[in-house]
Homo-oligomer: A and B are copies of this chain.
Amino acid sequence: MSAVRVHNFAISLDGFATGEGPTFEAPFGHAGIRLHEWAFATRFGRASHGQPGGSTGVDNAYAERFGPGIGAEIMGRGKFGPQTGPWEDLGTDREWRGWWGPNPPFHTPVFVLTHHPRPSIEMEGGTVFHFIDAAPKQALDLAREAAGDLDVRIGGGPTIVRDFLTANLIDSMHVAVVPILLGRGTRLWDGQEGLEERFDIETVSSPSGITHLSFTRRV
Contacts and interface: CB of A to CB of B under 8 A. Distances in A.
Interface of A: 13-15, 177, 179-184, 187, 189-196, 201-205, 209-211, 213
A203 B193 CA distance: 24
A179 B205 contact: no
Contacts of A195: 181
B209 A181 contact: no
A179 B192 contact: no
Given A15-B14, A189-B13, A189-B14, A180 B196 contact: yes
A196 B211 contact: no
27 contacts: A13-B189, A13-B201, A13-B213, A14-B15, A14-B187, A14-B190, A15-B15, A177-B203, A179-B201, A179-B213, A181-B189, A181-B192, A181-B195, A181-B196, A182-B193, A183-B189, A183-B191, A183-B192, A183-B194, A184-B193, A202-B209, A203-B210, A203-B211, A204-B205, A205-B205, A205-B211, A211-B211
Tell me how many chains of this kind the complex includes.
2
Contacts of A15: 14-15, 189
A181 B192 CA distance: 6
A138 B95 CA distance: 59
A55 B75 CA distance: 43
A83 B182 CA distance: 33
A209 B210 CA distance: 15
A203 to B, nearest CB: 4
Contacts of A193: 181-184
Contacts of A211: 177, 203, 205, 211
Contacts of A177: 203, 211
A177 to B, nearest CB: 8
